[in-house]
Amino acid sequence: MSKALDGHRARKRFGQNFLQDETVIDAIVDAIAPEPGQPVVEIGPGLAALTRPVLARAGHLHVVELDRDLAQRLETSPEFAGKLTVHRADALKFNFNELAQTLGQPLRVFGNLPYNISTPLIFHLLSHLNTIADMHFMLQKEVIERMAAAPGSKAFGRLTVMVQQACQVLPVLEVPPEAFHPAPKVDSAVARLVPYSESPWPVHDRATLNHVCHMAFHQRRKTMRNNMKKLMSADELESIGIDPSVRPETLGVGDFVRMANWITEHQRTL
């Protein structure tokens, strides 16, 4: 067990599972490949299993930690003196754009994300993509499968469309439960998200796209004609090349973007 685990109990309300497998840690740090001078930000450093090796390569690190006890440990540790900037904050509300502007360059963000906030946190980060260079996250394997899903699969859904419209999704490695303490009841995996400088599917308004995805996937077994009837008629769907009789998971990212852009252009009320 890592020395970092001494003296702290994982808290269920924060969804804490602490990484302790050195082989997995090394593989994740190699994937991140931090370099001196880069503005690297860790979400939820916990007991510093990833913090230490990333800091050793980067030279300085910003961390966002909600748990007051863990934040104080990091702030008062002689090991990190002068090398670590601790932001005591909820990552779901943290202004990553503001930090990037302060540092003067796009952020490299990484973290072992708590399972209970992983999806909303990814959506929060998608609203800050203009100031993020890349992201490396440990998540439930199921979440990464959803982010990387292809059209036609059961995993394809709102998260897929929202992430793939904005980022290239690259699965990095799978992580077994025994790599953590306490061991979670699910498998984990690591993915790299690289925001597009220009998306293959430019969208007028991301909030509209999110709403379209919510409407389309809320009842997956129904057809697009039924799911979208409050926003677009069957004829209107056909006018932009969408078959009203298909189920949402059979469509591609570009199809959802076309619907969102049509709704924005026609000023439909959401």
CA 54 to chain centre: 19
For the chain, give the number of residues.
270
- Rounded to 10 degrees, the C-alpha dihedral 130/134/137/142 comes to 80
What spatial distance separates the first Cα and last Cα of the chain, rounded to whole Å? 51
β-sheet bridge partners, residue 86: 63
The reply to whether 111 sits in an annotated binding site is no
The reply to whether 227 sits in an annotated binding site is no
The reply to whether 22 sits in an annotated binding site is no
The reply to whether 17 sits in an annotated binding site is yes
The reply to whether 112 sits in an annotated binding site is yes
Compute CA distances 178 → 18, 105, 183, 187, whole Å: 10, 37, 5, 9
The reply to whether 42 sits in an annotated binding site is no
User: CB–CB of 64/91 below 8 Å?
Assistant: yes
Q: H helices of the chain, where?
A: 22-32, 51-58, 68-76, 96-103, 118-126, 141-147, 158-166, 206-217, 224-227, 234-239, 253-265
The residue among 121, 165, 122, 113 whose CA lies nearest residue 140 is: 113
Which residues are annotated as part of the binding site for S-adenosyl-L-methionine? 17, 19, 44, 65, 90, 112
Residue numbers belonging to the annotated binding site: 17, 19, 44, 65, 90, 112
